[in-house]
């Protein structure tokens, strides 16, 4: 009986030992797993700290970039303002230089006109005594009287006259309706002072004088000269328009329309463009009539 109890106790002990071994193994795995989890948590925390530090560094760098960008923008704005100021000053200087060149050219023409006037004044007049016969001497045959000098061709009225005066006199004749004299005056002005700033105006007024006198063909020729000779002049819109008027008077309607359309196409903002549109409307009315 006692022997059976010992055997039973021994078996129970063996069963308990066999059951306790797997439990201890499971506890070790759990502890290892928990240690790994803690390690991961620590690494995660460190990673979050690094991410936060990098984020702060990026914010700092972004702030510095914004500051530098603002500084650069202000510097560029200041440079642009300086460049604009210099460009405006340069434009003013260029305009003043151009104006000075024009004035110097006018003064040069005035001086040249005065020089020609002085040369004319220094020409000695023909002596009246040279034309008189020598007094007769008794016993000496009278010498033949010298032949009368050939008449000197009169000098041009423009010689010695200042460009301003010559242009103003021709313009006064134009406004007075003395078209022939006005044409002569403007033509003399252009030939005497071809590089004057008013040479294109003079050529335009030649055409206008012919147009005013009813010489439409000559007016067209004069306007063509103005267009060919002064391609960059500010008188071209008026030259094209008045050429169209002269051609319309000559019943050359197609050429008149071409001249008017040139004004409206090339110079749409000019006053003559409005007149040219009215001229085209009149041409349309004329073509509709039977």
Strands (E), 150-196: none
In the numeric block, which tokens belong to residue 145? 């009287």
187 touches 206 (CB < 8 A): yes
Those residues with Cβ within 8 angstroms of residue 194's Cβ, 6 or more apart along the chain or in another chain: none
Count of residues making up the chain: 290
- For residues 236 and 250, give the distance between their C-alpha atoms in angstroms, rounded to a whole number: 21
How many beta carbons lie within 10 A of that of residue 145, not counting itself? 10
- For residues 132 and 125, give the distance between their C-alpha atoms in angstroms, rounded to a whole number: 15
Q: Which pLDDT belongs to residue 115?
A: 62
235 touches 226 (CB < 8 A): yes
Those residues with Cβ within 8 angstroms of residue 279's Cβ, 6 or more apart along the chain or in another chain: 241, 244, 245, 248, 256, 260
260 touches 280 (CB < 8 A): yes
Owner of token pair 């041409």: 283
pLDDT digits (tens, 9 = 90+) for 66-101: 889 889 888 888 888 888 888 888 887 877 777 677
In the numeric block, which tokens belong to residue 11? 């078996």
pLDDT digits (tens, 9 = 90+) for 168-184: 999 999 999 999 999 99
Residue among 224, 269, 268 at smallest CA distance from 243 = 224
Q: Which pLDDT belongs to residue 245?
A: 96
pLDDT < 50 regions, the chain: 120, 126-132, 134-140, 143, 145-157
Residue among 188, 179, 133 at smallest CA distance from 155 = 188
Q: Which pLDDT belongs to residue 288?
A: 75
DSSP letters, 67-101, are HHHHHHHHHHHHHHHHHHHHHHHHHHHHHHHHHHH
CA distances from 200 to 89, 203, 224 (A): 30, 5, 12
Q: Which pLDDT belongs to residue 269?
A: 94
CA distances from 66 to 60, 74, 80 (A): 10, 12, 21
Question: What is the SS3 assignment for 231?
Answer: coil
* pTM score: 0.52
- For residues 282 and 290, give the distance between their C-alpha atoms in angstroms, rounded to a whole number: 14
């Amino acid at each position: 009986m006692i022997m059976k109890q010992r055997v039973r106790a021994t078996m129970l002990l063996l069963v308990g030992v066999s059951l306790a071994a797997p439990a201890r193994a499971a506890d070790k795995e759990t502890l290892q797993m928990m240690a790994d989890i803690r390690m991961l948590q620590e690494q995660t925390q460190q990673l979050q700290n690094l991410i936060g530090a990098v984020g702060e560094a990026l914010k700092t760098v972004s702030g510095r970039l914004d500051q530098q960008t603002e500084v650069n923008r202000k510097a560029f704005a200041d440079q642009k303002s300086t460049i604009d100021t210099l460009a405006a000053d340069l434009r003013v200087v260029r305009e003043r230089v151009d104006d000075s060149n024009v004035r110097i050219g006018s003064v040069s023409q005035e001086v040249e006109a005065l020089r020609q006037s002085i040369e004319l004044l220094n020409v000695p007049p023909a002596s009246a005594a040279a034309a008189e016969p020598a007094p007769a001497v008794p016993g000496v045959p009278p010498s033949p009287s010298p032949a009368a000098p050939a008449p000197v061709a009169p000098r041009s009225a423009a010689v010695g006259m200042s460009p301003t005066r010559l242009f103003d006199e021709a313009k006064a004749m134009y406004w007075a309706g003395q078209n022939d004299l006005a044409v002569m005056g403007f033509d003399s002005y252009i030939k005497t002072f071809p590089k004057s700033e008013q040479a294109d105006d003079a050529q335009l007024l030649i055409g206008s004088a012919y147009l005013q006198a009813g010489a439409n063909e000559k007016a067209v020729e004069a306007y063509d000269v103005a267009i060919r000779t002064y391609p960059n002049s500010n008188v071209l819109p008026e030259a094209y328009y008045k050429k169209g008027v002269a051609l319309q008077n000559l019943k050359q309607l197609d050429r008149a329309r071409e001249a008017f359309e040139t004004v409206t196409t090339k110079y749409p903002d000019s006053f003559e463009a409005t007149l040219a549109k009215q001229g085209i409307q009149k041409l349309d009315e004329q073509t509709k009539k039977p």
